[in-house]
C-alpha cells in the first residue's frame, strides 16, 4: 500500500478552479460539503444540488449525460458519498459516456457527521477502482500543479473521467444553497430545456 501524503489542497479553492471556466457544463453535486462548495463558488441554475440520496450522485450524472450527449456533465461529490455507490463506477465504465466526469473531493472523512475517518484515508484507492472498472481516465490528485493539468481534462477529455482530489479537513464558512428539491429541479430544467421543461 502506498504511503498516503497529508492533503494540502483546500476544497473551496479546488471547486472554484474547476468551475471557473465551466461554460454550459451541467453540474451534479453530492450531498454535504460538495453541495456547499459549489454554491460558495457561485450559484448557477445548471447546478443540481443534492441534499440527500446518498450514493446516487454518479448515477444521476450518468442519466443526465446520456440524456444530454452534447453537453459536458460533471459530478462533484465526496468520498463517503462515492463509497456508498461504488457499483456505479462499474455501471458507468460499462456505458462509457464520453461526456461525463466524476470528481471526488476526497477529505478522507465523513465531514457532515463529525469527521469520522473514511476508507479512502486508510488505503482504499477510488481512482484505482475506477481505473480497474474501465474508466477512460482515472487519477488521484494531490497537488495544485496536477490539478491545473487535469481541470481541462474534466471538461474536455473523452470520458468517463474519474479523479479523486485529496483535500484538507480545514473548516470553511457555511454557505447554504437552495434546499427545496422542486426549486432545484425546476430551475435546472428551465435553464437546460427552456419552455419544454414545463411540458
Partner 1 sequence: MKSDQQSKSTIWPEQIYRSFQDHRIRQVCYVPDAGHGRLIKLCHADKNMKTVSLTTEEEGVAMLYGAWAGGQHGALLMQSSGVGNCINMLSMAQECRIPLLMLVTMRGQWGEFNPWQVPMGQSTAAALESAGVIVHPVDDAARVAETVHAAARLAFFSYRAVAVLIGQRVIGFKNWSK
The DSSP output letter for 7 is: P
**Which of 105-113, 123-131, 163-171, 179-187 is the region at the interface with partner 1 (rule: CB under 8 A)?**
179-187
Prior bond to 160 cis, omega within 30?
yes
| Whether the Cβ atoms of residue 47 and residue 188 lie closer than 8 Å to each other | yes
- φ, ψ for residue 159, nearest 5 deg: -90, -175
Q: Cβ of residue 88: shortest distance to partner 1, in angstroms?
A: 5
Selected binder of partner 1 within 4, 68, 146, 168 (CB under 8 A): 68
**Which of 3-11, 37-45, 85-93, 122-130 is the region at the interface with partner 1 (rule: CB under 8 A)?**
85-93
- The angle formed by the CA atoms of residues 184, 152 and 101, to the nearest 5 degrees, is 50
Task: By CB under 8 A, tell whether 90 contacts partner 1.
Answer: yes
Selected binder of partner 1 within 32, 55, 78, 177 (CB under 8 A): 55
Task: By CB under 8 A, tell whether 99 contacts partner 1.
Answer: no
**Which of 7-15, 17-25, 160-168, 184-192 is the region at the interface with partner 1 (rule: CB under 8 A)?**
184-192
Whole-angstrom Cα distance, residue 135 to residue 98? Answer: 10
Task: By CB under 8 A, tell whether 188 contacts partner 1.
Answer: yes
Segments of the chain assigned E as strands: 26-29, 47-49, 73-78, 100-106, 109-110, 116-117, 137-141, 161-166
For partner 1, the binding residues (CB under 8 A) are: 26, 28, 48, 50-68, 85, 87-88, 90-91, 94-95, 181-182, 184-185, 188-189, 192-193, 196-197
Amino acid at each position: 500500500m502506498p504511503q498516503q501524503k497529508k492533503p494540502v489542497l483546500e476544497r473551496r479553492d479546488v471547486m472554484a478552479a474547476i468551475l471557473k471556466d465551466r461554460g454550459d457544463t451541467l453540474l451534479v453535486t453530492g450531498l454535504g460539503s460538495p453541495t456547499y462548495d459549489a454554491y460558495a463558488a457561485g450559484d448557477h441554475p445548471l447546478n443540481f444540488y443534492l441534499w440527500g440520496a446518498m450514493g446516487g450522485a454518479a448515477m444521476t450524472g450518468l442519466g443526465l449525460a446520456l440524456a444530454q450527449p452534447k453537453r459536458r456533465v460533471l459530478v462533484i461529490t465526496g468520498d463517503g458519498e462515492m463509497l456508498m455507490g461504488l457499483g456505479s463506477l462499474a455501471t458507468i465504465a460499462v456505458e462509457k459516456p464520453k461526456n461525463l466526469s466524476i470528481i471526488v473531493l476526497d477529505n478522507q472523512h465523513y465531514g457532515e457527521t463529525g469527521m469520522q475517518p473514511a476508507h479512502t484515508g486508510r488505503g482504499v484507492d477510488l481512482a484505482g477502482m475506477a481505473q480497474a472498472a474501465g474508466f477512460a481516465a482515472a487519477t488521484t490528485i494531490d497537488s495544485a500543479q496536477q490539478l491545473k493539468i487535469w481541470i481541462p481534462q474534466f471538461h474536455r477529455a473523452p470520458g468517463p473521467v474519474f479523479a479523486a482530489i485529496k483535500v484538507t479537513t480545514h473548516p470553511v464558512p457555511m454557505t447554504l444553497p437552495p434546499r427545496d428539491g422542486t426549486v432545484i429541479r425546476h430551475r435546472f430544467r428551465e435553464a437546460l430545456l427552456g419552455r419544454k421543461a414545463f411540458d
